[in-house]
A and B are shown apart, each in its own frame.
Chain A
Amino acid sequence: MAMMKNITIGQYIPGESIVHQLDPRTKILATFLFIALLFLVDTFTGYALGALLLFSIVLLSRIPVKFVLRGIRPLAFIIVLTLCLHFFMTEGRVLFQFWFLKLTYEGLIRGLMMVSRLILLIIGSSLLTLTTSPILLTDGIESLLKPFKVIGVPAHELAMMMTIALRFIPTLVEETEKIMKAQMARGADFESGNIFQRAKSLIPILIPLFVSAFRRADELATAMEARGYRGGEGRTRFRVLRFTRRDAAALILITAFVALVAFYC
């Protein structure tokens, strides 16, 4: 059960900062621009400027830097692996040799660059979820996907599915804990045995969990229909997204920055 507490994917930290108050569409587009920048740039100056941009946004959002950096921890293994692979697998001028491992100059540069790119990518995208509530985020996605409806993208349905999925994560976590306890009270053991025994010991948790997830889904569908839900067509909104002058300014600023950095670095 301790494992469940460490899930921070899509965690949102409520706040009143200017970053929080921006329209979610602005933030989603800005994030995409930032990611594009990371793939266009391949100099350390470029990454440093990207990091500077990110750092100033973190400061503006008033989210503790420690919290932002925490997003990297789950990916530490991948970062180290990337670093090692690039360090030792790239052909080039050998700087240092130990047994069969050769550290090359090219490898060193490539490795450091890939890792900077990775870290900036993680922080940039987690900043989006840290400052945008899940509901606003899905509203923003729905609104941005709307133009693609002509080619058959079910924008509203996708957004509704995301909202419901996010809404039910805590419920399912709670349900899982309850079922685990009940089966433990009947002597179930989830910790010992080999991998097959352990997988088998999950059956008494998974089956009740699926049964209750389907039951909840069914009840939710009935409750939604009872309140007149008929899909996205003609549905008005309680929270209307407003693209203000501030959003335009933010977007222009970031676009200009990204364009300049991508062009010169």
Chain B
Amino acid sequence: MSYIYNAGQPMAHEALRNVSLTIEDGEFVGLIGHTGSGKSTLVQHFNGLLRPTAGTVFVDGVDIFGKDVNLRKVRQKVGMVFQYPEYQLFGETVFEDVAFGPKNMGVPDAELPGRVDQALALVGLDPGLKERSPFELSGGQKRKVAIAGVLAMQPQILILDEPTAGLDPKGRDEVLSLVAYLHQKENKTIVLVSHSMEDVARLAQRLIVMARGKIVLEGPPEVVFRQADYLEAIGLGVPQVTKLLQALKKQGFAVDPDHYTIEAVEDEIVRLLETK
């Protein structure tokens, strides 16, 4: 698949070059890359918001740009949480905003309250907020309302573009544990776009690294993080704790540097100290 912005004009810019990938049902994929690497452009193809200049997209084996495909159905199946989703809130009440998606998808009015309650419960918001204006809420709460607005459509596949950007550490942890819950307990397929190595390392089963519109690395986190020098060369890095293990290894300590969560690295270092 390729995508060119302003194709055929002097301002043409090739944002994706022959990108090809498959995401399995129930998988958790972390998509990482420097600003401008094409990751946001790529995910906007997954639900048909952008139409590739060349190539196509299959969801559940169906070509979503095919003739008889209803893009609205595709967008119900593939939910998308944009960057800073709180800037898209418009409803007079939280209820109205969260119900917007399901309503567009043709969910009967009688089922809407159930959908909204369920979505608000998922993101951990007090149901008492339903009648409040979304503009009165705090930044973190607004973000959760916006995410609930996508979850209320009950998508099977969820794409999140930098969902933690601009949140405080507490809000970040809450959003990330919500994503983990959706993946583990609700069996949703997740694509998490981020440039925080720590975030994706902890959650994703597979990492896809993009640079200049191409997929440059792909594989389980420990395999991808072995390429620390290359990742740094394209403006990324590896989690701090992995860096520590790699440095220890270079100094001649007998550690296994293929760990990337704080807990696993802690165990590894404790083991090292004990064997000494």
Contact = CB atoms under 8 A, between A and B. Distances in A.
A185 B72 contact: no
Contacts of B80: 182, 185
Interface in A63-78: none
A48 B72 CA distance: 57
Contact of B75 (A179, A185, A208, A212): A185
Contacts of B149: 186
Interface in B74-103: 75-76, 79-80, 82, 85, 87-90, 100-101
Interface SS majority for chain A: helix
Interface residues of B, number: 23
Nearest to A188: B104
Given A179-B87, A208-B90, A185 B49 contact: yes
Nearest to A178: B82
Contacts of B154: none
Contacts of A178: 82, 87
B47 interface: yes
Contacts of A181: 44, 49, 82
B72 A179 contact: no
Contacts of A203: 90
Contacts of B6: 5
B88 A208 contact: yes
B49 A186 contact: no
A179 B76 CA distance: 18
A205 B90 CA distance: 8
Contact of B72 (A5, A187, A211): A187
Interface string A181-194: 11111111100000
A154 B82 CA distance: 42
A185 B47 contact: yes
A181 B45 CA distance: 11
Interface string A152-185: 0000000000000000000000000011011111
Interface residues of A, number: 20
Nearest to B49: A181
B43 to A, nearest CB: 10
Give the residue among A5, A186, A189 with the most B Cβ atoms within 10 A: A186
B88 A182 contact: yes
Contacts of A208: 87-90
B35 to A, nearest CB: 15
A187 B101 contact: yes
Contact of B90 (A5, A187, A204): A204
Nearest to A215: B87
A7 interface: no
A187 B89 contact: no
B153 interface: yes
A208 B88 CA distance: 5
A207 interface: yes
Contact of B79 (A5, A184, A185, A205): A185
B196 to A, nearest CB: 22
B105 interface: yes
Interface in A109-131: none
Of the listed residues B88, B135, B153, the one surrounded by the most CB atoms of chain A closer than 10 A to its CB is B88
B245 interface: no
Interface of B: 6, 44, 47, 49, 72, 75-76, 79-80, 82, 85, 87-90, 100-101, 104-105, 135, 149-150, 153
22 contacts: A181-B44, A181-B82, A182-B80, A185-B49, A186-B150, A186-B153, A187-B72, A187-B76, A187-B101, A187-B104, A188-B100, A188-B104, A189-B72, A204-B88, A204-B100, A205-B90, A206-B90, A207-B90, A208-B87, A208-B89, A208-B90, A211-B89
Interface of A: 5, 178-179, 181-189, 203-208, 211-212
